[in-house]
Structure 1
Amino acid sequence: MNLGFAELAGFVAVAASGHLSDTAADLDISQPSLSRRIARVEAQVGATLFDRHGRRLRLNSRGRAFLPQAEAALAALDNGVSQVRRLMDPEHGTVRLDFMHSLGTWLVPELLRSYRSAHPGVHFSLHQDAAQGLVERVLDDTADIALVGPRPTGAGEPDSPLGWVRLSRQRLAIALPEDHRLAGVGSVPIRLAEVAGEDFISMRPGYGTRLLLDELFRKAELQPSFVFESMELSTVAGLVSAGLGVALLPMDDPYLAPTGVVLRPLDPPAQRELGMVWRRAEEPAPPVDQFRAFVAARVVEPR
C-alpha cells in the first residue's frame, strides 16, 4: 500500500491538533474517514504513531520520528503541484532559457526586456554555455529553449526532434592585427588559404564560432594552428589586437568592436547564423510556447 497526499496530510494535521474530531471538521471529512487515514499510515510504517490520553492524541517516539519525513513529503508534493501549475500558466510560469556567451550582451537582454515588460509574472531560469552543450541540454530536457549558432545539423527538418527559427545572420571575417601584412587593404575579402599558416586565436571546441571555423577549414582541406582558445569572443578580439594571432569573428556585432583590429570578410562569403532551438514535444507548456512564439515573431538584428 502506498501513502497518498490525503493520508499524510491527515497524519500531520492530527499531530498538530491532537484531536480527531476537530481535525476532521477542519478537513471537511468525517471522523471515521480521518481515523481510517491514520490507520493506513500506521499500517504502512508498521507501528502506532500516537498515544491516547483521553480524547487527545499525542505523538509517541515513533510518531515524532516520522513527522519530519511526512512534512517533507507533503512539502515536496506541494512543490510539485506548484511547479506543474506554473508550467501551465503562461503568465506565471518558468522558461528555462539557455544562450551562448556572446549573445548575453545584446540578443538576450533585448528579448527579455521586451518580453518581461508585457509579461512581468514569467520567471526565467538562465544558463550560458558552448553552443554544442546548449543543444544537448535542450535534447535531454534540461532547458526549454536555447539561442545558439550555427544551426544544429538537421534542426528544423521534419524528422528532427529539434525545432529551429533563424533570428539573425552575421557575416564572418578574418580578424587581423592592424599592423599585419594582410591588413593594409582594409575590408577587401580574403580567402582562408591566405591565412592558413597563421597562428589562430579561437573559441574552445564546441563553441559556435569554433564550430564554424572547424567546418571552414575542413571544407578547404586545411589544418589550423591554435595558440589560444577562449570562452569569450571579446577575449579573442582583444588578443588579435595585441598581435598574438588572427581569428574568425562576426562582422555585424556592434558589441564586438575591438580597436587595433582589421576585419576582412571571407571569400567566398560565410555567415554566422543565429537562432532559437527547442525540443519538439506533444505536451503543451504555455509559458514556453508563448515566449517561443514571441521570439519567433521577431527577427532580431544587432543595431
Structure 2
Amino acid sequence: MSDISATDLQGFIAVAESGHLTDTAAILGIPQPTLTRRIRRVESSMKANLFDRGSRRMVLNSRGRAFLPHARAMLAELAEGSSKIARLMDPERGTIRLDFMHSLGTWMVPDILRDYRSLYPAVDIRLHQGAARELVDRIRVDATDVALVGPRPPEAGEELGWHQLRLQRLALALPEDHPLAREGATPVDIRQVKDENFVGMLPGYGTRLLLDRISAGFGFSPRLVFESMELTTVAGLVSAGLGVALLPLDDPYLAPTGIVLRPLDPPEHRELGLVWRADAESAPPIDQFREFVIGGV
C-alpha cells in the first residue's frame, strides 16, 4: 500500500462514482493519461483489476466494489489525521495536556484556566490531577505536556525544564489547645514535636516529600496517624486534635479554623512551579501556554 498516494485514491473513487475516465479527468483538471496512471497504481497495489472496462465506461467489478469502502475510509482517516496535526500546530485551537497537584485545584489552576480561556476560548485543555511525584513521572514519559508541581523535582535543569511560580513558607500546624499554640504565630523548631503524632499527605505528594526531607534532615521520622490526598483534610484533622502537620503558611484557599500555624525555624519553603520535558518538540499551543503561565502567575 505504500505506493498508493491520496491522489491515487481520490482518482479511483472519482472514476468509480462517475464511470467515465475522460469526464472525470476533466472535472479533476488533469490529463486523462495522468488519471489512468493513478488508477493503474491502485490496481497494481491491489494486484487485481478493479474495473470492467468498456469502450466508453469504466464499471467497478466485484473486486472494485469490495475495495471502494476501504478506499473511502483510508481517505477519511488521512483527512482526520491531517486535521488533528493542523489542530496541534494551531496555538488558538490546539490541545494542551495539563497536570496539577490536588492542592492547586482550588486556586492556581482555576485562575490560570480562566485567564487563558478568556484569550483562547477554542483551545482544548485536558486535565489530570495527582501526586507531585506521579505528575513528574508523567512528564518524563510524555503522558502530559506541562505540570504544576512542588517541590522542585530533582531532575529539573537536566531532563526537565522548570520555572518557579510561587514560594510559600512552611508552617507547623497545631490544634488550638496544643501547648505550643499558646505562643501564637512565632517561628517554631519542628524538632519540638518530633515525638508527637503527625497528620500528613500520602507518599509522593508534594507536602509529604517536604515533610520527609525536613524530618530526615533533623534525624527523625514522623509518626503518621493518617495520610491524605488533600491539604484541607490534613488541616481539619489537626483541628480535631488528631496530630500536628506541615502546611503552607499562605495558601489562599486553605482557611484553617481551630488550628494555629507557626512558621518553621529555620525557615523552610514550598516551591511551586511549572515543569516540562526539556527535550520536548516545539508545539505552538504548548509553547504559548507555557509562556503565558510563566509570564502571568
Normalization by structure 1: what TM-score?
0.86
Match of 1:247 in 2: 245
Deviation for aligned residue 1:247: 1.8
Distance 1:194 1:25 in 2: 89
Number of corresponding residues: 295
In structure 2, do the counterparts of structure 1 residues 237 and 93 end up closer, same or farther at CA, with 3 Å as the change threshold? same
In structure 2, do the counterparts of structure 1 residues 17 and 246 end up closer, same or farther at CA, with 3 Å as the change threshold? farther
1:229-254: CA deviations, max 9, x gaps?
A: 22222222222222222221111112
Given that residues 189 and 265 in structure 1 are in contact (C-alpha distance below 8 angstroms), is that contact kept between their aligned partners in structure 2? yes
Q: Note the residue ranges of structure 1 that are not aligned, 5 or more in a row.
A: none
Indicate the larger mover: 180-189 or 249-258: 180-189
In structure 2, do the counterparts of structure 1 residues 38 and 111 end up closer, same or farther at CA, with 3 Å as the change threshold? same
In structure 2, do the counterparts of structure 1 residues 50 and 293 end up closer, same or farther at CA, with 3 Å as the change threshold? same
Q: Per the alignment, in what secondary structure is the counterpart of residue 180 of structure 2?
A: coil
1:289-300 equivalences under 5 Å are 289-298=287-296, 300=297
- Matching residue within 278, 281, 286 for 1:280: 278
Given that residues 11 and 38 in structure 1 are in contact (C-alpha distance below 8 angstroms), is that contact kept between their aligned partners in structure 2? yes
Match of 2:131 in 1: 130
Match of 1:113 in 2: 114
In structure 2, do the counterparts of structure 1 residues 52 and 102 end up closer, same or farther at CA, with 3 Å as the change threshold? farther
1:69-218 equivalences under 5 Å are 69-155=70-156, 157=157, 160-218=158-216
Q: Which has the larger radius of gyration?
A: 2
- Matching residue within 49, 55, 58 for 2:57: 55
Match of 1:39 in 2: 40
Q: Note the residue ranges of structure 2 that are not aligned, 5 or more in a row.
A: none
Normalization by structure 2: what TM-score?
0.88
Deviation for aligned residue 1:213: 1.3
1:166-203: CA deviations, max 9, x gaps?
A: 11111111222222333222222222222222222222
Distance 1:17 1:203 in 2: 68
In structure 2, do the counterparts of structure 1 residues 143 and 28 end up closer, same or farther at CA, with 3 Å as the change threshold? farther
Given that residues 15 and 59 in structure 1 are in contact (C-alpha distance below 8 angstroms), is that contact kept between their aligned partners in structure 2? no
Distance 1:19 1:244 in 2: 84
Deviation for aligned residue 1:68: 4.1
Given that residues 170 and 248 in structure 2 are in contact (C-alpha distance below 8 angstroms), is that contact kept between their aligned partners in structure 1? yes
Deviation for aligned residue 1:55: 1.3
Distance 2:235 2:87 in 1: 42
Deviation for aligned residue 1:47: 3.3
Q: Per the alignment, in what secondary structure is the counterpart of residue 214 of structure 2?
A: helix
Distance 2:40 2:251 in 1: 67
Distance 2:179 2:147 in 1: 39
Query: Quick one: which amino acid aligns to residue 186 of structure 1?
Result: G
